[in-house]
Chain A
């Protein structure tokens, strides 16, 4: 089992930020910006949108800083808020259509290139239903176990495992592998 271990933030950045130290809050942003941005980017496969979401999340953190109890809590809070925001935006907006035909064509031409495989994978992930997308992103970007993921997405652990299993089956099918 993977524990949710706080990453090494400068000892005291959180309490300093909570006391109103803006430099300390900037340190917190710099420490976690890649994680937050990447969660949103891997969800929507869109850098511009990912930055908007990431900015919103940190602004929300700024307004709720008093509620954060520890570095571990901060990490959990950022992951959960970002994930929830992404899921909510997916449900409220039209999904961008990604052509399966295009992805298939890409596969036949660029089969052995890692860079293109990465792009194809991200495009396929973007087509997954929102919860599956969230679970896959948290599992492979953040290296979290289902027991940790279930707290972030607020679902039972078996439901999370089931979503992960279905997502991977779907991805294998799209890649043309045997499930």
Chain B
């Protein structure tokens, strides 16, 4: 197994509003071939509404509530396939990358022949991160996440494992 990783500094942010870019992350061609699709589309209003229902008792939900309060949107598309070779990873990364303007900088690239490949780009205003795009590719699953608004990457990573909401099933429906 070979693993090639490039890394740049992970940067913390000050939550100051700034114009951020959302990108198109729908891939109808993938949706046709996918066995299951996760589709999450949350604009600012839905984020505020959802945040109101997050529990103050639960440490993880409190942390999420704190993180989303200044966001303008979160968009997720995840496509799961029944077998290998159902999508062109490089081609999809290029399609995402081609939408990113001059303010976007690559943060991390993880390449592996057997494990997950991950690309993360950040929309920068000076040293502030005002947007994030994550592309993650496994043999049977392709995921794109676009977070619009100021986000602390270290705090986002620290949320991992706190949710306990198991990924039992993925639905092909748009909420």
Contact = CB atoms under 8 A, between A and B. Distances in A.
Given A59-B58, A87-B161, 14 more contacts: A60-B58, A60-B164, A63-B55, A64-B165, A76-B168, A77-B168, A80-B166, A81-B165, A85-B164, A88-B160, A88-B161, A88-B162, A92-B158, A154-B167
Contacts of A154: 167
A63 B61 CA distance: 11
Contacts of A167: none
Tell me the interface secondary structure of chain A in the complex.
helix
B57 interface: yes
A76 B55 CA distance: 23
Interface of A: 56-57, 59-60, 63-64, 67, 69, 73, 76-77, 80-81, 84-85, 87-88, 91-92, 154
Please tell me the size bucket of the interface on B.
10 to 19
B168 A84 contact: no
Nearest to B162: A88
A125 to B, nearest CB: 20
A59 B57 contact: yes
Contacts of B162: 88
A59 B60 CA distance: 13
Nearest to A88: B161
